[in-house]
Amino acid sequence: MEEKLPQEKKRDFALDNFRGLIIVFLLLFFYYETIPYTPAFLLHAADGEIMRFADYIASGFMLALVFAFAIGLEKYAAANDYKGAVKRYASRYLALIGVGFLLVAIPAIMESGTLFRFNVFSVFGVAGLLSLFFIKLNRWWQLGIGCGLIVLYQLLLFVPAIVNYVTLPQNDFGGLFGAIAWCGFIMAAMFLAKTYRNSFKQFSWAVLGFVLAAVVFGAASLAVKLTGGGLEFFMASKTRVSMPFVFVTLGAGAAVFWLFAKFSVTRQIPVLTWYGRNSLVMFIFATGAGRGLAVLTNLFITSASAAYVLPLGMLAILVLSALFAYVLYRFKITITV
- pLDDT, residue 80, reads 78
What are the structural domain ranges in the chain? 44-269
Contacts of 282 (CB under 8 A, 6+ apart): 23, 26, 27, 275, 321, 324, 325
- Cβ–Cβ < 8 Å for 206, 191: yes
- Whether pTM > 0.75 for this model: the answer is yes
Q: Please provide residue 35's backbone torsions phi and psi, each rounded to the nearest 5 degrees.
A: -90, 120
What's the pLDDT tens digit per position in 140-154?
A: 999 999 999 999 999
Low-confidence spans in the chain with pLDDT less than 70: 1-9, 106-115, 229-233, 336-337
Helix, coil or strand: residue 33: coil
**Cβ-based neighbour number of residue 213 at 10 Å:** 19
- pLDDT, residue 4, reads 43
